[in-house]
Chains A and B, each alone.
Chain A
Amino acid sequence: MTEIQSVQIITLTIDGKPVGASGGETILDVAKQNQVFIPTLCHLEGLIPYGACRLCLVEIKGNNKLVPACITKVAEGMEVITNNERLQRFRRWILELLFTERNHVCSVCVANGFCELQSLAEVLGMDHVRLPYLHPKFVVDATHDRFVSDNNRCILCGRCVRVCSDIEGAHTLDIMGRGIKARIVSDLDDDWGNSPTCTRCSKCVQVCPTGAIKEKGRRSVGEKFKHRDVIAHLAEMREAAREED
């Protein structure tokens, strides 16, 4: 028996331009299809959207709350505004707050030149930090023989947690604590090196937008190159395999 899926077609406008979408898609998906740039940080193609960073905030006519584009589904007749001065200001503020919280001193960071936080600051013109730096001190976990976790450089985007549980299926990494004390831990806050669940797949290294998770070995300051597309590729292949079954 063949099942006929009915695809709902939706029309909306993005920045005044009428666009078509299918139901279930997010604003971010549709914007991408139409070559509209919305900055994102916690979002990564291939991972389940999470809505943690709020960098993708957009305006919707008639709604005085801003909504995150990465997890907000499109609706018929929606009028989305992705870019104006207010949004730019808010996005810069979000970045600025990230920079004030933990130690993001690019010049001595392994991810210098390969960091999404750094490049977004550049793209969005966040060139000053006006608030005092907080820099809580976190212990660097270098106990694992292949990876280092440095919460001092973490922005709590949750990518590593999601890739570890949703793609790898290990769920070694998670977030513990709240607010400024929140940090990435492995298993039940044990040394990563002792983890019985970690499969040493290194997916967390590839997805981490900053220098917070790093591979050991011949990688020093400014040398943490990453293959981020690999996750989207994996997710796609897995989807394809599932469809074949």
Chain B
Amino acid sequence: MHADLECVTQLTIEHSQKLRNYETVLFIDASILLPPGEWTIESLAPHGMCSAQASHHCTPADVIELAALLFDASPDAYLLSIGASKFDERDSLGEPLQAALPNIVADVKSFDTRLSRKN
């Protein structure tokens, strides 16, 4: 399976256009809701709602929504949320996250195997 990796500081409206080119999209984002070091992978689908209030501030769900509305693109989309506690610009990874990182990486690595098994 071929994958492209893109690191962005912000998701923008324009990203919705890019999703046209992909079958599967995995968004990876830090989360304040999960305890540090825990992670979840949930699937995202267009849900008729977009909360985008700014051209450069979209949630993964917004991007999915816009991709479906505008570009007829509905890739299988997933959101990997990783619980973290420190978000300041000068922070490095906290200990729980540091410890969980290998497992998260392993989980992401097995992600495409799981996907193909699903099909």
Contact = CB atoms under 8 A, between A and B. Distances in A.
Interface of A: 128-130
Nearest to A131: B90
A128 B89 CA distance: 7
Contacts of A129: 90
Contacts of A130: 90
Interface string B88-101: 01111000000000
A242 B89 CA distance: 55
Nearest to B89: A128
Contacts of B92: 128
Contacts of B89: 128
Decide if the interface of chain B is mainly helix, strand, loop or mixed. Answer: loop
A42 B72 CA distance: 57
A130 B92 CA distance: 11
6 contacts: A128-B89, A128-B90, A128-B91, A128-B92, A129-B90, A130-B90
Interface in B15-66: none
A128 B91 CA distance: 8
Contacts of B91: 128
A168 to B, nearest CB: 42
Nearest to B90: A128
B30 to A, nearest CB: 16
A129 B91 CA distance: 10
Nearest to A125: B92
A130 B89 CA distance: 9
Nearest to A130: B90
A108 to B, nearest CB: 20
A129 B92 CA distance: 11
A132 to B, nearest CB: 12
Contacts of A128: 89-92
Nearest to B91: A128
